[in-house]
Structure 1
Amino acid sequence: MSLEDTPIDDVNIRSIDVLVTPAELRKALPMSLGAHRTVAEGRQVIRNILDGKDHRLFVVIGPCSIHDLKAAQEYAQRLKALAEEVSDSIYLVMRVYFEKPRTTVGWKGLINDPRMDDSFRIEEGLHIGRQLLIELNEMGLPCATEALDPMSPQYLHDLIAWSAIGARTTESQTHREMSSGLSSPVGFKNGTDGGLTVATNALLSVRNAHSFLGINNDGKVAVINTTGNAYGHVVLRGGDGKPNYDSVSVALAERALEKAKAPMNIMIDASHANSNKDPALQPLVMDNVANQIVEGNTSIIGMMVESHLKFGRQDIPKDLSQLVYGQSVTDGCIDWETTEKAVRSMREKIKAVLPGRRQPS
């Protein structure tokens, strides 16, 4: 073969499949009035908490990832009841993660591979994910997710009250630009090494306007021009095997935010390095955070907790009928009984001090 005949375009592409557009998906699965009300209220409550106008903490809690709709719906029903019980002090937001970043390879989440068999039926995953979000919001339960693929917000973000940018993507220019246009508040995790610089730089970036390539509702490539997102904040999740939820680490984060002239808003992730990847330690992190608040901390505005119906995690078997119901297939989670106990304990500790703790910024 001569040099002129050598293929140079799409050399490693097996196929390119046309996907449903955001407008088509929203038409097929429209948002109800009840779901719209939940999203709007959820975003406003979180904004008010970040602004110091609402004294409560918001806690993003739920499965590490969604893989079983029945289990997710059962979890949501239980969480809704708990949310009403603790609503005077804690605003619970369900963790509804459809996309999972992988260090190398592995299951990338319900949107990417909804059948968990490497068939990668992404359009099916988008339909399933949007339908679940509609159902949860219709229950009156606000939802949170990780914004990983820069295209997915066009399909799903109208149903999201709070978004996370993960430790692997906080440093990404693409994700900072995307976040500047998100309609929800967004939390940036510290780097995987535990450093805060990437997160504070992200806060500086996200509040500014950006222009970048994306898609519009009709699925056409477009230049997206944003106005900036004023509700970015940092999420401490530890790093390099070391936690950073303790009072000294929080004080250092406060200094970093002050230096960056960023709002003094800190969220604590009870999982990952902060629990040494042992889900059983998450309640201890929650208790420590509650003690910090009782002792006078005013910067901690929320928490993240990985929780499911059953404790721990499982590998995905070849025979999916062997999956344990209500147990995570990604990071390990605390079980429901532990979740109730930990949330109730936190509320009891902090409820008396919260009303006078923060003033509007």
Structure 2
Amino acid sequence: MGMKINAELPLPANLKAEYPLPKELAEIKKKRDAEIREIFEGKSDKFVVIVGPCSADNEDSVCDYVNRLAKVNEKVSDRLMIIPRIYTNKPRTTGEGYKGMLHQPDPDQAPNLLEGIIAIRRMHIRAIKETGLTSADEMLYPENRSYLDDILSYEAIGARSVENQQHRLTASGMDIPVGMKNPTSGDFSVMMNSVIAAQNSHNFIYRGMDVTTEGNDLAHVILRGGVDKYGTCIPNYHYEDLVRLVDVYAKKDLKNPAAIVDANHSNSNKQFKEQIRIVSEILHSRRYNDDVKKMVKGVMIESYIEEGNQKICDHMTYGKSITDPCLGWEDTEKLIYKIAEEC
């Protein structure tokens, strides 16, 4: 085989024992998970805001960002459920480029997966300890989620992974909300089939074990826009798209119909400032149509301390994305207050 074994990684149970989630933080997560569940079950009218960097590339700046979110959260927690977006795995379309802190705990250094696993667990725990906010991450590698499954309150499955069988079946064994993004083509049927799969019980191989899952009743969709065969971005956050999704859900026998709208990616054509306008339009659509309001549980926003993005170099700007461009903190803070007023 054309493959070299670099190291044998620790079992998740062993890593958790070495870097445990303290009991008091586990209680915070339990309470937050219950609140989030009530939102997706329709028992709470709080609006979900999943917000944070495109990729979490530095522990200090990410935790600085989450601390800022926590201060805003104190003022809006009666209306919003803020879930920090701490994405530690970065999907790459061609396989080239920075793949996230899991691969490179230091973007300037060579990949080190053992150090990366430790770094992302440590960062997630620090964020909870300092702010009381449990976070969201992307399930890019299904078997790796076992290193964080006691910490996360939300997980997303990306546009390039949503058709993958292992992602769908693993999602069926999770006890937190999992968002299935529409694929890059924008196809609704692929996204809905993923939700159906995740909500049902399955028997399959997971980390060398024969497992049976219970099904995840909080599996739902994430609208992130699509791309046509010519590479043109086709958004799917408009009112007509949301009404269509309401109709699609009505024809399916699914629990807790729900959607999160990703304001960036192909919905904004990666024009990060457009996220402000897009979120405003989503809020307007919810006010206009009760069915849309009931279905759209929240938004996803890419945001960091400094707006835009930068290349990896020897004079990096603190708190600025090294992957996709993000909304800056000042605009983000204003947008969160606006959401709280209008949701």
Letter in 1 for 2:342: K
Give the superposition deviation at 1:264: 2.8
2:158 aligned with 1:166, yes or no? yes
2:215 aligned with 1:228, yes or no? yes
User: Which of 327, 337, 345 does residue 320 from structure 2 map onto?
Assistant: 327
Unaligned runs of 5+ in 2: 228-232
Unaligned runs of 5+ in 1: 1-9, 216-220, 351-361
Letter in 1 for 2:64: E
2:70 aligned with 1:72, yes or no? no
Give the Cα separation in 1 of the matches to 2:5 and 2:41: 48
Give the superposition deviation at 1:14: 2.4
Give the Cα separation in 1 of the matches to 2:194 and 2:144: 20
2:285 aligned with 1:292, yes or no? yes
Letter in 2 for 1:199: M
Question: Which residue in 1 is equivalent to 2:4?
Answer: 14
Letter in 2 for 1:119: A
Q: Verify the 8 A CA contact 2:58 2:106 in the aligned structure 1.
A: no
User: SS in structure 2 opposite 1:70?
Assistant: helix
Letter in 2 for 1:264: P
Give the superposition deviation at 1:185: 0.9
User: SS in structure 2 opposite 1:250?
Assistant: helix
Report the number of matched residues. 332
1:1-361 to 2 correspondences below 5 Å: 10=1, 12-104=2-94, 105-117=96-108, 119-138=110-129, 139-215=131-207, 221-240=208-227, 241-262=233-254, 263-296=256-289, 297-317=293-313, 319=314, 322-350=315-343
Q: Identity over the aligned pairs, expressed in percent?
A: 33
Alpha-carbon displacement from aligned partner over 1:262-306 (angstroms, at most 9, x marks no partner):
343111101111111110100111111111222233211111000
User: SS in structure 1 opposite 2:257?
Assistant: coil
Instruction: Answer with 1 or 2: which has the greater Rg.
Output: 1
Give the Cα separation in 1 of the matches to 2:310 and 2:42: 40
Q: Verify the 8 A CA contact 1:34 1:140 in the aligned structure 2.
A: no
Q: Which runs of 4+ in 1 moved over 3 A?
A: none
**Pairwise CA RMSD:** 1.2
User: SS in structure 1 opposite 2:150?
Assistant: helix
User: SS in structure 2 opposite 1:157?
Assistant: coil
Give the superposition deviation at 1:42: 2.1
Letter in 2 for 1:155: Y
User: SS in structure 2 opposite 1:279?
Assistant: coil
User: SS in structure 1 opposite 2:148?
Assistant: helix
Give the superposition deviation at 1:17: 1.6
Give the Cα separation in 2 of the matches to 1:268 and 1:15: 40
Deviates more, 1:326-335 or 1:252-261: 252-261
Give the superposition deviation at 1:78: 0.4
User: SS in structure 2 opposite 1:91?
Assistant: strand
Give the Cα separation in 2 of the matches to 1:214 and 1:233: 22
